[in-house]
Amino acid sequence: MGVLIKRGAEASIYLEEWCGRKVIFKRRHPKKYRVAELDRALQIRRTKHEPQMIHKAKEAGVPTPIIFLVDLEEATIIMEFVEGKQIKQILNDLPSEDRVRLCREIGRLVGKLHKSGIIHGDLTTSNMILTPSGRIVFVDFGLSEQSVDLEARGVDLHLMRRALASTHYKYADECFNAVIDGYREIMGDEITKDVINKIREIERRGRYIVGR
């Protein structure tokens, strides 16, 4: 294996040299606590599912990594290594105008996903890469699903809001408002209003559970 970039609960991500290019190997771990047959079936299903969702996102007009190979036997996806920096690394240091512009574009991309019935499932600035050419590429669709439910859309953006509050707390409101502005451009006023109300409801639920 090459250089370990990230070890998650479900999978490890390695930077590798493959066929003369830098690539990402995403390998799913076996779970010892699960029945072996069930675990294997889940590994295969999830290894198939993620590239399918990445492809659907690309069709929706959202930049995603190129998938080179899906190895079900090894529960491994080989995909493009996207050159650039995580939005997480740069967002706090940008001038306000650039930060707002970037967040508005993120909102447009989330809108394109949601309009196509794709819920990312892990909308954090760690899973968005700004390339040298200025494109924002969405990565890590391991928790993604297909849904047009208001609840699913609200949860997706609620997670984004929480991620901004924890990593970019000084600019969280400015950033999230810009995300919503971009989202509104794609989804329209009516749906955006419903999603915002749903986010508020989810936040109230969270406060109620914590306060019990």
Domain match, 70 and 125 both? no
Tell me the per-residue pLDDT of 163-206, one tens digit each, with 9 for 90 and over: 999 999 899 999 999 999 999 999 999 999 999 999 999 998 87
Domain match, 48 and 101 both? no
| Domain end call among 53, 80, 107 | 80
Domain match, 67 and 122 both? no
Range of the domain at 68: 3-80
Asked about 156 being catalytic, the answer comes back as no
| Domain end call among 80, 104, 138 | 80
24 near 78, Cβ under 8 Å? yes
Tell me the per-residue pLDDT of 50-96, one tens digit each, with 9 for 90 and over: 999 999 999 999 999 999 999 999 999 999 999 999 999 999 999 99
Tell me the per-residue pLDDT of 83-124, one tens digit each, with 9 for 90 and over: 999 999 999 999 999 999 999 999 999 999 999 999 999 999
The enclosing domain of 168 has a CATH number of 1.10.510.10
Domain match, 153 and 97 both? yes
Nearest C-alpha neighbor of 160 from the set 124, 201, 203, 121: 124
Catalytic member of 71, 122, 189, 194: 122
Domain match, 94 and 64 both? no
Nearest C-alpha neighbor of 170 from the set 98, 70, 93, 103: 93
| Domain end call among 63, 80, 97 | 80
Question: Based on the structure, what is the number of domains in the chain?
Answer: 2
pLDDT at 40: 85
104 near 179, Cβ under 8 Å? yes
Band of pLDDT at residue 212, cut at 50, 70 and 90: very low
**Mean model confidence pLDDT for the chain:** 93
Domain match, 61 and 89 both? no
Domain match, 103 and 72 both? no
Q: How far is CA 141 from CA 5, 26, 110, in A?
A: 17, 11, 13
Domain match, 27 and 98 both? no
Domain match, 121 and 152 both? yes
Q: Quote the pTM value.
A: 0.92
Domain match, 155 and 101 both? yes
Domain match, 106 and 40 both? no
Domain match, 121 and 27 both? no
Tell me: pLDDT of 30 over 70: yes
